[in-house]
Structure 1
Amino acid sequence: MADLTLRAAVPSDANTVAALLSPVFAAGETYAVDPSTTGKAASDYWWSGGRSVFVAETDRLIGSYYIRPNGEGRAAHVCNCGYVTDPEARGQGMATAMLAHSQDIARQMGYRAMQFNFVIATNTGAIGLWERHGFATVGRLPGAYDHPKHGYVDALVMFKTL
Structure 2
Amino acid sequence: MTTIRRFQAADWPEIWALLRNTFASGDTYAYAPDSTEAEIYHAWITSPAATYVACDDAGQILGTYTLKPNQPGLGGHVCNCGYVVAPAAQGQGLATAMCLHSQAQALDLGFRAMQFNLVVATNERAVRLWQHLGFAVVGRLPGAFRHPTRGFVDALVMFKTLDKRTAADPR
TM-score if structure 2 supplies the norm length?
0.90
Counterpart residue type for residue 4 of structure 2: L
User: 1:37 deviation in Å?
Assistant: 1.7
* Structure 1 vs Structure 2 CA RMSD: 1.1
Deviation at 1:49, TM superposition (A): 2.3
Moved over 3 A (4+): 38-41
Task: Give identity over the alignment, percent.
Answer: 50
Structure 1-normalised TM-score? 0.95
Unaligned ranges ≥5, structure 1: none
How far apart in 1 are the matches of 2:37 and 2:91?
26
Matched pairs, number: 160
Aligned to 1:160: 160
Unaligned runs of 5+ in 2: 163-171
Render the CA deviation track for 1:77-112: whole Å, top value 9, x for unaligned: 000000000000001110100000000000000000
- Correspondences of 1:47-126 after superposition (within 5 Å): 47-58=45-56, 59=58, 60-126=60-126
Partner SS state of residue 160, structure 2? strand
**Which amino acid in structure 1 is aligned with residue 115 of structure 2?**
Q
Deviates more, 1:107-116 or 1:31-40: 31-40
Partner of 1:15: 13
Which residue type is aligned with residue 65 of structure 1? Y
How many angstroms apart in 1 are the aligned matches of 2:71 and 2:90?
A: 31
> Which residue is equivalent to 1:36?
34
The answer to which of 64-73 and 38-47 deviates more is: 38-47
Structure 1 residues 38 and 87: CA distance shift in structure 2, 3 A:
farther
Change beyond 3 A, Cα 1:40–1:14: farther
SS at match of 1:31: coil
CA displacement at 1:40 relative to structure 2: 4.2
